[in-house]
Amino acid sequence: MSSRIITEVKITPEQITRAKNLYDFSNINNSFTKGKSQIYGALGEIIVLDFLGLNETDNYIGTKDADLLINGLKIDVKTKKVSGIPKPHYFNSIGINSLHQKCDQYYFVRILKDITTAWICGKISKKDFMTRGKYFLAGENDPSSTSFKFKEDCMNLEISECEILDAPLNWISLLKDYFILKETNYGFYISKECLIKNNNFNAFYLPSRQRLIIKDGDKTIFDGILFEKQQIINIFV
């Protein structure tokens, strides 16, 4: 797999401020640094939310098992403080104290020590990570580095073996091809005559959830989370 899986992000002062306000830093225990670098973890979550076009109000949960809730999936964001640009053969790692967390997926972020730049380093389901990962003990040499030793027991998987975390499609733009959009306090109310079926369809879209509901009169013809453009096309063909 190519280095495309790694996405560079420039960190803004506004993101740093939001990270500092995100949660009580005294309550975080599941990290390699034992709480000394908690701002990096909070910033990693903000970076993921912004990259996906989401927000803290709708998608941040901050439980002991997961950080974010996205499309019904509990996401734990694992962030590393680093001194250099990551390469595809570097490891995404999870410490032994975090392996018990009951999440659905892991998202991986690396943040430069000076907090100027971050890299989103893929995602993977917890099941796949636990199945395919390699376990190393504290003090063992990291085979992906010439000088680093593992600070604690941990499970590891090369960045290149994870899935790409892509920015979402611009659903608002795509939906405009089929509906006239009217912004409301709850999202976007959508209504347009469908020429294919010669019926009036009404729709309600919730951007924070990427959820679309389409009705033909009183009949619901679609109610679900949008993942790909083909879902919309299938409704009208």
- Residues 157, 218, single domain; the answer is no
**So what's the pLDDT on residue 78?**
96
**So what's the pLDDT on residue 214?**
84
Task: Write out the DSSP string of 60-81.
Answer: B---SS-SEEETTEEEEEEEEE
CB-CB contact of 19 with 43 (8 Å): yes
**Which is more confident, 226 or 212?**
212
Q: Which residue has the tokens 């730049």?
A: 117
**So what's the pLDDT on residue 2?**
45
Of the candidate ranges 24-38, 89-103, 139-153, the one whose mean pLDDT is the lowest: 24-38
- Residues 113, 190, single domain; the answer is no
Instruction: Write down the mean pLDDT value for the chain.
Output: 84
Nearest to 117 by CA among 67, 164, 83: 83
Domain membership of residue 108 (yes or no) is yes
Mean pLDDT of 202-228: 79
Give me the helix-helix angle, 38-51 and 13-20, nearest 10°.
Answer: 120
Mean pLDDT of 111-135: 96
Of the three residues 161, 182, 208, the one that is the final residue of a domain is: 161
In the chain, at which residue ranges do the beta strands (DSSP E only) sit?
7-10, 68-70, 73-82, 91-95, 105-112, 117-125, 134-136, 154-158, 180-184, 187-194, 199-206, 211-216, 219-225
- Residues 61, 175, single domain; the answer is no
196 band by pLDDT with thresholds 50, 70 and 90 = low
Name the domain count of the chain: 2
Of the three residues 161, 181, 203, the one that is the final residue of a domain is: 161
- Residues 124, 207, single domain; the answer is no
- Residues 180, 102, single domain; the answer is no
Q: Is the pLDDT of residue 30 over 60?
A: no
Distance CA 174, CA 155 (A): 40
With a pLDDT cut of 70, the percent of the chain lying above it is: 82
**So what's the pLDDT on residue 32?**
43
Of the candidate ranges 24-38, 137-151, 214-228, the one whose mean pLDDT is the lowest: 24-38
Domain membership of residue 109 (yes or no) is yes
The per-residue b/e assignment along 66-103, b for 16 or more CB within 10 angstroms, e otherwise, is bbbbbbeebbbbbbbbbeeebebebbbbbbeebbebeb
Range of the domain at 83: 3-161
Structure tokens given for 2: 């190519």
Of the candidate ranges 99-103, 125-129, 167-171, the one whose mean pLDDT is the lowest: 167-171
- Residues 149, 200, single domain; the answer is no
- Residues 175, 129, single domain; the answer is no
- Residues 181, 99, single domain; the answer is no
Domain membership of residue 166 (yes or no) is no
**So what's the pLDDT on residue 53?**
80
Of the candidate ranges 102-106, 119-123, 146-150, the one whose mean pLDDT is the lowest: 146-150
- Residues 231, 206, single domain; the answer is yes
85 band by pLDDT with thresholds 50, 70 and 90 = very high
- Residues 46, 132, single domain; the answer is yes
Distance CA 67, CA 218 (A): 37
- Residues 97, 189, single domain; the answer is no
Q: Full-prediction pTM beyond 0.85?
A: no
- Residues 178, 157, single domain; the answer is no
Q: Is the pLDDT of residue 120 over 90?
A: yes
CB-CB contact of 124 with 136 (8 Å): no
Task: State pLDDT tens for residues 139-172.
Answer: 999 998 878 899 999 999 999 999 998 776 677 7
Of the three residues 161, 196, 222, the one that is the final residue of a domain is: 161
Mean pLDDT of 91-106: 94
Q: Is the pLDDT of residue 74 over 70?
A: yes
Domain membership of residue 16 (yes or no) is yes
